[in-house]
Amino acid sequence: MAGRPTARRYAQAVFELALEHDAVDQWLNDIDLMADAMGSEDFFALLEAPQVPVRVKYRGIDTVMAGASQLARNLASVLVDHRSVRFAGAIRDQFRALADAHNGVARAEVVTAVAMEDAERERVSKLLGELVSANVVTTERVDPDIIGGIIARVGDHLFDGSVKTRLADMRAALAAPPVDLRQDS
Reported as a single tens digit per residue, the pLDDT across 85-130 is 999 999 999 999 999 999 999 999 999 999 999 999 999 999 999 9
**Section 35-46 average pLDDT:** 95
Q: Which of 33, 68, 100 represents a domain boundary (last residue)?
A: 100
- Around Cβ 121, how many Cβ atoms within 10 Å? 15
Quickly list H helices, 21-159: 24-39, 41-48, 54-64, 70-81, 88-103, 118-132
The reply to whether 168 falls in a domain is: yes
Give the residue, 115 or 4, on which the prediction is more confident: 115
Same domain as 121, residue 95: no
pLDDT tier at 185, thresholds 50, 70, 90: low
Tell me which range, 3-17, 73-87, 169-183, is most confidently predicted by mean pLDDT: 73-87
Is the confidence at residue 1, as pLDDT, over 60? no
Same domain as 109, residue 96: no
The reply to whether 182 falls in a domain is: no
The reply to whether 180 falls in a domain is: no
How far is 142 from 146, CA to CA, in rounded Å?
A: 9
Same domain as 114, residue 94: no
Structural domain span for residue 118: 105-175
Give 69's contacts (C-beta < 8 A, 6+ positions apart).
Answer: 23, 26, 27, 30
Question: Mean pLDDT over all residues of the chain?
Answer: 92
Q: At what angle do helices 41-48 and 54-64 cross, to 10 degrees?
A: 150
Q: Which of 69, 100, 131 represents a domain boundary (last residue)?
A: 100
pLDDT (tens digit, 9 = 90+) per residue, 120-165? 999 999 999 999 889 999 999 999 999 999 999 998 889 999 999 9
Sheet containing strand 150-154, strands side by side: 135-142, 105-112, 150-154, 157-160
Q: What is the CATH number of the domain that holds 171?
A: 3.40.30
Number of domains comprising the chain: 2
